[in-house]
Amino acid sequence: MRTDVMEEVRQRLSQLPGVAVEVGQPISHRIDHLLSGTRAQIAIKLFGPDLATLRTKAKEIRDAMGTVPGIVDLLVEPQVGVPQLQINLNRPAAAAVGLSAEDLAQTVEVAFNGEVVSQVLEEQRTYDVLVRFNDSARDSVEAVGRTLIDTPAGAKVPIAQVAEVRPDQGPNTINRENVQRRIIIQANVAGRDLGGVINDVRAAIGQKVTLPQGYFVQYGGQFESQEKASRQITLLSILAIGGIFLLLFIALKSMRASLLVMANLPLALIGGVVMVFLSGGTLSVASLIGFITLFGIATRNGIMLIGHYRHLMEEEGVGFRDAIVQGSMERLSPILMTALVTGVGLIPLALGAGDPGREIQQPMAVVILGGIVTSTFLNMIVIPALYLKYGEAAAQAPAHEKSASRGRQRCSRILHVQNAPRDQVTADDEEQEDAPGSEVDAGVSYDGLHVDGCAADGRIDPVARRAGRSGGCGRPAP
């Protein structure tokens, strides 16, 4: 396993004295560096004006983070002390001889660093002429202090008379961000989710570290990008659910039927949440993407069931309760087949936890696999029961509209027979025209069209026709 290998590498390298170790992979290092400027998952940036205070507070933050479970590869941004010789001007003594800080700085720079004063041409090559004191003047601190410098009055005084000369150490680098000095405390996470570790780190730093005025902490790294992506995915998930509901309403022409199909979403959510908990409780961006994919799969199962119920009632004339029983049995095999094929394909990915290259695929596969199991099982139990209780009103409206449409078509055919010349009427038309009507209604209306002398099923009543009543099927009554 990748995690076992990385842990063994950490343990072996930690035995080397004076070595700061951070273990990772090339791709993750590149991503982390792009996100926060460091090669670690967590980067805490401490800003402030004084380098020594920054270093002290950074060590306190490191110690506080070390108490948080799951933190590995914890280190403060390394800075190596560089030996320096500091010459600090004694302003009262310098003022007594008329020497300014600028005069001292310029003299020291020329004396010890040198200054180019001319160039020499030799064999078509140009060489700079650098003027400075000889090396013996820089051999020791005492030698530097004895170095004579000119004063405005013309006298010469040693540097030690007007300045303090002492050895010291300074930082090898001074890092800045947004024109402020900063130092970074970085760490990786192992065995826990990144969001939970960050919350514990914030709590530990808030309790154990007190920052002076002018110093502040900024949290960065992978978790910052993860929080931003989680917010975006949550917003897009809401928009996706709204889009799914709109498409369902357009297709089913019923808000109640659309809501019954959407009832599959919490059924799928149950399995996804359970699998996330069983796999370690880490909710990552890949897991959220898996939930969005799962919502589409669960909605498809609901559409297959309710769509078939409506087909049986509208096209085949099956009763409401019988349509639910028959439709559920007929759609059981297709739903199980699609779920089984999808689940079998995801099992290798779901079992590949910790394998290189599956950091994104494995959490997503776990969520989809768990959601498919609960969605498929509960879909065949919950959706038929909900439709039986709440779906009858949603099923009656399309059936009534279908019946009215058929009546209008039948009246139109009979109108064609009645108005056509007798020599153009076929035997089938005569039979349809003279067929006995049921429940004669002298004023049946179909979608606003008043039909005079028609039966309720759209056929002309022969009694009304032979009685010579004006109007006819399909004609507006006078």
Residue 434 shares a structural domain with residue 456? yes
Long-range contact pairs involving 172-180 (C-beta distance under 8 Å, separation at least 24):
172/79, 172/80, 172/81, 172/82, 173/79, 174/51, 175/77, 177/37, 177/45, 177/47, 180/47, 180/48, 180/49
Tens-digit pLDDT profile for residues 428-446: 454 444 444 433 343 444 4
| Boundary of a domain, candidates 390, 414, 444 | 390
Give percent above pLDDT 90 in the chain.
4
Query: How far is it, in rounded angstroms, from Cα 40 to Cα 33?
Result: 8
Token readout for 310 is: 């409506």
If asked whether residues 353 and 453 sit together in one domain, one would say no
Q: What is the DSSP string of 306-346?
A: HHHHHHHHHHS---HHHHHHHHHHHHHHHHHHHHHHHHHHH
Q: Same structural domain for residues 274 and 132?
A: no
> In the prediction, which pLDDT does 402 show?
53
For 25-77, what is each residue's pLDDT tens digit?
A: 666 656 555 555 566 778 889 999 988 899 899 999 999 998 888 888 888 88
pLDDT digits (tens, 9 = 90+) for 364-394: 888 888 888 888 888 888 888 888 888 776 5
183 and 127 both lie in a single domain: no
- pLDDT category at 281 given cuts 50, 70, 90 is low
For residue range 108-153, what is the model confidence (pLDDT) as tens digits? 888 888 888 899 988 888 999 988 888 888 888 888 888 888 888 8
In a domain, 38, yes or no: yes
For residue 450, the model assigns a pLDDT of 41
Judge whether 24 lies within some domain. yes
Q: Which of 37, 399, 472 shows the shortest CA–CA distance to 224?
A: 37
| Pair (28, 158) in one structural domain | no
**What domain range includes position 58?**
2-79+174-222
| Euclidean distance between CA atoms 468 and 81, whole angstroms | 117
The domain boundary, picked from 171, 206, 230, lies at 171
Residues 301, 163 share a domain: no
Backbone angles phi, psi at 28, to 5 degrees: -65, -35
Burial of 188 (0-12, 13-18, 19+ CB in 10 A): buried
Question: Same domain for 55 and 179?
Answer: yes
Report if residue 473 sits inside a domain: no
For position 302, which CATH number holds?
1.20.1640.10
Please write the tens of the pLDDT for every residue from 147-192: 888 888 888 888 888 898 888 887 778 888 888 899 988 888 877 7
For the chain, the domain total comes to: 4
Total residues found in the chain within this entry: 478
Q: Are residues 380 and 437 in the same domain?
A: no
Distance CA 116, CA 425 (A): 119
- Residue at 232 is within a domain: no
User: Does the pLDDT at position 315 exceed 90?
Assistant: no
- Beta-bridge mates of residue 180: 177
Radius of gyration (C-alpha) of the chain in whole angstroms: 43
pLDDT tens digits, one per residue of 436-474: 443 334 344 444 444 444 444 444 444 444 444 444 444
Task: Classify residue 237: in a domain, yes or no.
Answer: no
Q: For residue 247, is it within any domain?
A: no
Q: What is the pLDDT of residue 175?
A: 86
Domain-ending residue, one of 107, 137, 171:
171
Please check whether residues 329 and 284 belong to one and the same domain: yes
Query: Is residue 238 one of the residues assigned to a domain?
Result: no
Instruction: Please tell me whether residues 159 and 67 are part of one structural domain.
Output: no
Residue where the block lists tokens 């709109």: 246
**Cα dist. 248→69, 261, 332 in Å?**
47, 8, 21
Residue at 227 is within a domain: no
- Same domain, yes or no, for 378 and 339? yes
CATH code of 138's domain: 3.30.2090.10
Same domain, 262 and 354: yes
